[in-house]
Amino acid sequence: MRIHWGAIPTASDFQPETDGWNSIREPSPMLMQFIALPLCIVIAGLLGCVLHYVAPHGMCGHEGVSFHGSDVFILLGGMVAVVVLFIAMHEMIHALVHPAQGRTDKTIIGVWPSRLLFYAHYEGVLSRARFLAVFAAPLVVLSLCPIPVIALLDAWGKWPVVEMCLTVLSLINGLSSAGDALGMILVASQIPATAMVRNRGWHTYWKMPASESR
């Protein structure tokens, strides 16, 4: 795994135009963030409805449960920690779905300040199924998996601070996963199921395996 500051690097050994790779239609990084805004609203709305149904006290607290001064500071500190740490967790979960759980030098964790982007990039070839799994993993792990835990804590009526922090994590990660959801739509709609997929910088290319292209 490598750490990179700046734009997504382009592998010099990958020349898609001369190697028979096909590009997909995809917006620029900045435009993609604007296009993803409606998905933010949809994902946040769906998560909010589910969380309100399974754990109605997740955001507003349990009736009869009062927070003392120290509890409020713990709650605020916990929520700040959730907001700060979830970015690192989100990208690391992307990386864990890479081959060898992201432990090779083909996995790059980067920060692109001018685009306000954090990213986990893989320089090698992936199957379309794994490419989609990389996109989906943070949404599943950080937004969907906490829901049954939140529901149990809500029913138990204990540890309200933990319940609220998990609720905030689920919602914030859901909002930040809109770009991933849009990426899944672009890949699933334009790339055949059995194709190989590779990125060169921001751009995505696909190619059928040799055994299927004959």
Q: What is the pLDDT of residues 177-196, one digit of tens each?
A: 999 999 999 999 999 999 99
- Residue 113, judged by CB atoms within 10 A of its CB (0-12, 13-18, 19+), counts as exposed
- Cα separation, 154 vs 150, in Å, equals 6
| pLDDT attached to residue 80 | 67
Both structure tokens of 199: 């990125």
Residue among 142, 168, 169, 182 nearest 39 (CA)? 182
| pLDDT attached to residue 184 | 95
| pLDDT attached to residue 214 | 46
Amino acid occupying residue 106: K
| pLDDT attached to residue 69 | 52
| pLDDT attached to residue 19 | 84
* Low pLDDT (below 50) residues in the chain: 64-65, 67, 213-214
| pLDDT attached to residue 92 | 94
| pLDDT attached to residue 57 | 66
| pLDDT attached to residue 94 | 96
